[in-house]
Amino acid sequence: MKLKNIILSLFLAFTFSTTQAQLNVGDIAPEIKLPDSLGKWKPLSEVKAKIILLDFWAAWCYPCVQSMPDLISIYENYHKKGLEVYAVSLDKDYYNWVAMCRKLNLPFVLVNDAYGMNGKTCKQYHIESIPNKLLIKDGKIFAINKSLYDINKILEKELESEN
């Protein structure tokens, strides 16, 4: 009986120690430091903007690629007002990622986590599916997994009211 209790205690301790808490609005945004297409490291903390739109995507993800023209439009509408897009690709194939970035002519910060959904970045942000978008304001999570329509409305309220 004693051995059974010890095993149960160890199992529960391991389970609770490996369970990750989800990110919530108001939490500090975990640091991301990933390379761009030239291999230059682009830390999230060095992005200077009133609001950062953190976009998790991949070249092989049809909905991600289909949403890029709308994301570019949002970027063009709000970049001069304080928005920066930090697009995290989860492509394991570097060449496909770079080719898609060029094809789409993406104008914002582009980085790649070659470990894909198994990478540190997805684990830190609890990304289980893509596309997935978050807003960061003052270093804190401001909105989680919103549609581009909702993001546009939020940015309209947040950035238009400041100008």
Domain assignment of residue 6, yes or no: no
Domain assignment of residue 140, yes or no: yes
Domain assignment of residue 154, yes or no: yes
Residue-wise pLDDT tens digits, 74-124: 999 999 999 999 999 999 999 999 999 999 999 999 999 999 999 999 999
Alpha helices in 84-137 (DSSP H): 94-104, 120-125
Nearest to 147 by CA among 63, 87, 89, 27: 63
Domain assignment of residue 9, yes or no: no
Domain assignment of residue 123, yes or no: yes
Domain assignment of residue 139, yes or no: yes
* pLDDT (average), residues 151-157: 95
Q: Among all chains, which residue has been given the structure tokens 């949403």? A: 67
- 30 is written with which tokens? 């975990």
Residue-wise pLDDT tens digits, 14-54: 444 334 468 899 999 999 999 999 999 999 999 999 999 99
- Can you give the pLDDT at residue 114? 96
Domain assignment of residue 52, yes or no: yes
DSSP 8-state assignment for residue 128: -
The domain total for the chain is 1
Residues in CB range of 57: below 8 A, 6 or more apart:
64, 65, 67, 68, 87, 88, 89, 90, 130, 131
| pTM of this structure | 0.85
Domain assignment of residue 153, yes or no: yes
User: What is the domain range of residue 134?
Assistant: 27-160
- CATH code, 54: 3.40.30.10
